[in-house]
Amino acid sequence: MAVLAESGSNPDVDLLYDINGLAKDAPHWFDRVMEFVGEYGLLLAMVLLVLWCWWGVRRRGGEEAAPSVAALVWAPLAAGIAVLVNVPIRGFVERPRPFRDHQGLDVLVSGKDDFSFVSDHATLTMALGVGLFVANRRFGLVGIGLALMEGFCRVYMGVHYPTDVVGGFALGTAVVLLLSPLAMALLTPLMRAVERSPRVGRLVRRRTAPDLPVLPGARRSAEAGERDLAA
């Protein structure tokens, strides 16, 4: 077993107490809000952000639609892969939750009996944020900001050490960036094929109405009108 923090003299533990101590001084209703936000709310916000970015890419269309949608598809796939990679990491490190080794923490959510390092929530949100950044920098910066908020919430709730969160950020970022070239090489041709499909092509780019044919008589009338205006 690898023990990453054992006493209050450890800076990791000191920061844990400093951040979690905010929960003790906060009103009860605020702690309940932080519990929901840290457990579910920010994850839901990340999903909605990915969908919002996809909707904008789809409406804008253009030659970059397929690569951008491919990057958006890669974001949740990378997040899932990162969480799977975390399974053996947790089993190897076997770090207990902070409230098991340290007294006086205000734990806002119960039922956390698994190991602490690294944080799944931090891993998921940062992978989604960095994946969004690959697709769209503006949305990606917002996503990374939400991931940082998620990491703060996990320590505030008393269920993770700060280094659990930092490890999750590093894992999520590494999976997205290291595997991105291979993922984009596979997903971009797939998205181009989907774009050409008459049935599901709208998932990549919004269809525009085809140009209507102009009748010869209508064209002559328009040309005559233009000459009259010029005269």
| C-beta atoms surrounding 1 within 10 Å | 8
Question: For residue range 6-38, what is the model confidence (pLDDT) as tens digits?
Answer: 444 688 888 999 998 888 888 889 989 999 999
Return the structure tokens found at 222.
């328009």
DSSP H helical ranges for 102-136: 120-135
pLDDT of residue 151: 95
Q: Is the pTM of this model over 0.85?
A: no
Six-digit token string for 221: 């009338």
Q: So what's the pLDDT on residue 61?
A: 67
Residue-wise pLDDT for 221-231, tens only, equals 445 544 554 44
Q: How many residues does the chain have?
A: 231
The 3-state secondary structure of 29-82, one letter per residue:
HHHHHHHHHHHHHHHHHHHHHHHHHHHHHHHHCCCCHHHHHHHHHHHHHHHHHH
For 11-207, CATH gives: 1.20.144
**Structural domain boundaries in the chain:** 11-207
Q: Are 204 and 155 in contact (CB under 8 A)?
A: no
Q: Where is pLDDT greater, at 123 or 59? A: 123
151-201 pLDDT tens trace: 999 999 999 999 999 999 999 999 999 999 999 999 989 988 888 877 777
